[in-house]
Amino acid sequence: MTEATRQKLLALNREFYERFAASFSGTRFGSQPGWDRIIPYFPPRCAVLDLGCGNGRLARFLDERLEQARYVGVDASEGLLAIARAQTAGLQRVRAEFFPMDLSQEGWHRRLGRFDVVTALAVLHHIPGYHARVQFVREAARCMHPEGALILSTWRFTHNPRMRRKILPWSVMGLSEADVEPGDYLLDWKKDGGGMRYAHELDAGEVAELARDAGLRVVEQFAADGREGDLSLYSVLQQNASLFRK
């Protein structure tokens, strides 16, 4: 994939999440079943970084489950951040802060501190290019305390007939299969006049490879969510001892 193509895909997704912030947020409410399986990785009192936080619904879930938490949510969409701030204003146990940040630009981790748990839920599959995904995971790891956890979720849309119907040909945006990487897809969005966005499907093996290349190890993987119970692949990563010796 050329850098020009990668930037074109990034621009497509930035435009999508800004243009459809309200309608997208309207489809993202309540907690996901997979969250019940990751909550044990959150200490009762902790600091949480939510990368690609969207409308902040993870903060609302943590407010119900934790004793006390500092939560920092970052997202590139100002529209989604405005919704997140409004929807988390009344939280009791979670102190939530939200900041605009383009996670596709290298070095973003330097603007953040260290956290007990870092999450990137339904985010990694929107980063085009294997090397860029490794860089994202590496930077996310830099935001973890040494004993912390990085929790990823990625879509398994080709496993789902409903999601497969959303796949569009690359010709719609002037590209071909040769321009992108295996596992890259263009997905339809029919609300508010319609749109499209880029996503890459990662299997358990690719996530494990990303983790290894980023100096991490996989401690748990499982499928959950969606009507069929397997729409998302969750991966919990922790640091290798050598990561911060470099």
d(CA 15, CA 34): 28
Instruction: State how many domains the chain has.
Output: 1
Q: What is the pLDDT along the chain (246 residues), one digit of tens a residue?
A: 999 999 999 999 999 989 887 777 767 767 899 999 999 999 999 999 999 999 999 999 999 999 999 999 999 999 999 999 999 999 999 999 999 999 998 899 999 999 999 999 999 999 999 999 999 999 999 999 999 999 999 999 888 888 888 999 999 999 999 999 999 999 998 887 889 999 999 999 999 999 999 999 999 999 999 888 889 999 999 987 544 333
d(CA 233, CA 29): 19
Q: What does R_g of the chain's alpha carbons equal in angstroms?
A: 17
User: Which domain covers residue 169, as residue numbers?
Assistant: 3-245
Q: Which residues pair with 151 in a beta bridge?
A: 119, 236
Count the helix, strand and coil residues of the chain and give each as a percent rounded to the nearest 5: 40, 30, 30
CATH of the domain at 138: 3.40.50.150
